[in-house]
Amino acid sequence: MEGTVVIIGLGLIGGSLGLSILKGNPKATVIGYDVQEKEMRLAKAMNTITQESKNLQQEVEGADVVFLCTPVFQTEQLIEKLSAWSLSPHTIVSDVGSTKKRIMNKAQLFYDKGYTFIGGHPMAGSHKSGVAASKVILFENAFYLLTPGKNVHERDVDRLKSWLVGTKAKFFVVDPQEHDEITGMVSHFPHIIASSLVHQVKKVHSTQPLISRLAAGGFRDLSRIASSDPTMWRDITMHNTDILKELLRQWQGEMNQVIELLNQGDADAMYHYFDEAKQFRDNMPILQKGAIPSFYDLFVDIPDYPGVISEITGLLAKQGISIVNIRIMETRQDINGVLAISFQTEEDRRRGESCITSTTSYEVFTV
């Protein structure tokens, strides 16, 4: 498709959208705007956009599509601002916010003027932030939820999908309330739990300093999402308070149930509690991208001798397999260490596992 796209907010999502749009629509003009001019310059240098914004109102009024890629509170403010401008009748405005009900209520300002607004939420992300972390594969096979208003034509939804074809995402149209309930459970609520786990460890750290070294492995993976942008998550939780309060009340009930099992000292009941969770979790489609950023980690048992890490990375490099992070886990005290390698995609992890197991005798495993 040819035309003009304006992206307001050049962070991880905005930058990755720019890359995806240009991949699927190479003849498009993608104009990027950010309050931080250095982010605009970096986005242009990285080719996530084709032009830096010079006159935002004029560019928005002449755009085919406008994406609001800002925190949800700022998105509400932008909707108020843009709805007062003279948008073209064919312009589609969309957002990428993790909450939808309040955004769609605010979007009534667009509908009152006959403008087209389609709420959006690409359910993909990373623990990294900023346009520098942008990547064209960020949304590949991810769920991209759309919440068009009642008066939005289906042809406009299809047109938006055409602009987003380069994301290779899976599109679903959902009700805003349903969206917030689902993402509250599988995304917003887990972020609160992860942060609370870190707070609990922090409180005992002063009396048990060794805990920070031993809190690796499962705890590291379970609490990883607590490293996400606190400003973004403050805004998201404040946008979805009613649902989150109910989920937390249910969580308190769940924890009371666990306390009761411990009080009873019933080993069989405790086993069934863990087994039921295991069975349900094992049957979930966890290899698909969901609301929480996915981490494609591979763990390699390696002997302690010079050059072993460069040996592993060299093998991967020969196969053209990119890695995003590599680290040594220091919780083992036997002769072998554990090398943790993070990949961009599940396919890269599978290729990495095959490469290492076919050329070395090192044990490789995933979690």
Q: Please report whether residue 247 resides in a domain.
A: yes
d(CA 43, CA 25): 18
Q: Are strands 92-95 and 116-122 parallel, antiparallel or unpaired?
A: parallel
The answer to whether the beta carbons of residues 18 and 7 sit under 8 Å apart is yes
Q: Is the pLDDT of residue 239 over 70?
A: yes
As a whole number of angstroms, the distance between CA 41 and CA 33 comes to 10
The predicted model gives 263-277 an average pLDDT of 94
Please tell me the predicted confidence (pLDDT) of residue 181: 92
- Reduce the secondary structure of 303-320 to three states and give it as a string: CCCCCHHHHHHHHHHHCC
Residue 294 has pLDDT above 70, yes or no: no
Instruction: Provide the residue range defining the domain that includes 199.
Output: 179-282
Q: How would residue 287 be classed by pLDDT, with cut points 50, 70 and 90? A: very low
Q: Which pLDDT belongs to residue 186?
A: 84
Residue 295 — pLDDT band, cuts 50, 70, 90? low
Task: Give per-residue pLDDT as tens, 245-258.
Answer: 999 999 999 999 99
Rounded distance between C-alpha atoms, residue 142 and residue 352, angstroms: 22
Domain with residue 237: its CATH number is 1.10.3660.10
Instruction: Indicate the pLDDT class of residue 335, thresholds 50, 70 and 90.
Output: very low
Contacts of 90 (CB under 8 A, 6+ apart): 64
* pLDDT on residue 334: 40
The Cα–Cα gap between 283 and 40 comes to: 43
Query: How much of the chain exceeds pLDDT 70, in percent?
Result: 91
Q: What is the mean pLDDT of residues 117-122?
A: 96
Residue 11 and residue 34 in one domain: yes
Mean pLDDT on 16-25: 96
User: pLDDT tens digits, residue range 81-109?
Assistant: 999 999 999 999 999 999 999 999 999 99
Rounded Cα–Cα distance for residues 80 and 121 (Å): 20
Rounded-to-integer distance, Cα 5 and Cα 31, Å = 6
In the predicted structure, residue 367 carries a pLDDT above the cut 80 = no
- Enter the pTM of the model: 0.73
Tell me the per-residue pLDDT of 312-322, one tens digit each, with 9 for 90 and over. Answer: 888 898 888 88
Task: Tell me which of 156, 174, 192 is where a domain ends.
Answer: 174
Q: Are 42 and 148 contained in the same domain? A: yes
- How many domains is the chain partitioned into structurally? 3
Mean pLDDT on 22-48: 95
Residue 16 belongs to some domain of the structure:
yes
Domain assignment present for residue 291? The answer is: no
pLDDT band at 217 (very low <50, low <70, confident <90, very high): low
Mean pLDDT value of segment 134-149: 90
Write out pLDDT tens, residues 173-208: 999 999 999 989 888 998 999 899 888 888 887 788
Long-range contacts of 149-152 (CB under 8 A, 24+ apart): 149/104, 149/107, 149/108, 149/111, 149/117, 149/118, 151/111, 152/116, 152/117, 152/118
pLDDT at res. 329: 63
- State residue 332's pLDDT score: 41
pLDDT at 39: 93
Whether 290 maps to a domain, the answer reads: no
* 197 assigned to some structural domain: yes
Neighbours of 107 (CB within 10 A): 28
Instruction: Judge if 257 and 359 occupy the same domain.
Output: no
Identify whether residues 55 and 88 lie together within a single domain: yes
Is the torsion defined by CA of 12, 15, 21, 23 positive or negative?
A: negative
Angle of helix 241-264 relative to helix 189-205, nearest 10 degrees, comes to 60
Span 344-356, mean pLDDT?
87
Task: Flag whether pLDDT at 303 surpasses 70.
Answer: yes
Q: What is the pLDDT of residue 205?
A: 78
183 and 170 in a single domain? The answer is no
- The whole-angstrom separation of Cα 202 and Cα 58 is 50
pLDDT band at 365 (very low <50, low <70, confident <90, very high): confident
3-state helix, strand, coil in the chain (%, to 5): 50, 15, 35
pLDDT tens for residues 47-85? 999 999 999 999 999 999 999 999 999 999 999 999 999
Question: 53 with 123, same domain?
Answer: yes
Q: Examine the domain organization and report whether 128 and 10 are in the same domain.
A: yes
In a domain, 115, yes or no: yes
* Separation of alpha carbons 224 and 294, rounded Å: 10
The encoded tokens of residue 348 equal 């890269």
- Considering the domain architecture, whether residues 56 and 165 belong to the same structural domain is answered as yes
Of the three residues 174, 203, 218, the one that is the final residue of a domain is: 174
Residue 195 in any domain: the answer is yes
Q: Is the pLDDT of residue 293 over 60?
A: no
User: Could you tell me the CATH number of the domain that includes residue 351?
Assistant: 3.30.70.260
The model's confidence at residue 126, banded by pLDDT at 50, 70 and 90, is low
Instruction: Confirm if 314 and 273 have CB atoms less than 8 A apart.
Output: no
Q: Give the per-residue pLDDT at 273.
A: 94
Strand partners, 4: 29
- Among 143, 174, 205, give the residue marking a domain's end: 174
Give yes or no for residue 290 having a pLDDT over 70: no
Examine the domain organization and report whether 18 and 122 are in the same domain: yes
Shared-domain flag, residues 189 and 140: no
Question: According to the model, what pLDDT value does residue 300 have?
Answer: 85
Residues 346 and 209 in one domain: no
287 within some domain? no
Q: Is 164 in the same domain as 185?
A: no
Q: Which two tokens stand for residue 137?
A: 């594969």
Q: What is the mean pLDDT of residues 295-300?
A: 79
For 199-226, letters b (16+ CB in 10 Å) and e give eeeeeeeeeeeeeeeebbeeeeeebebb
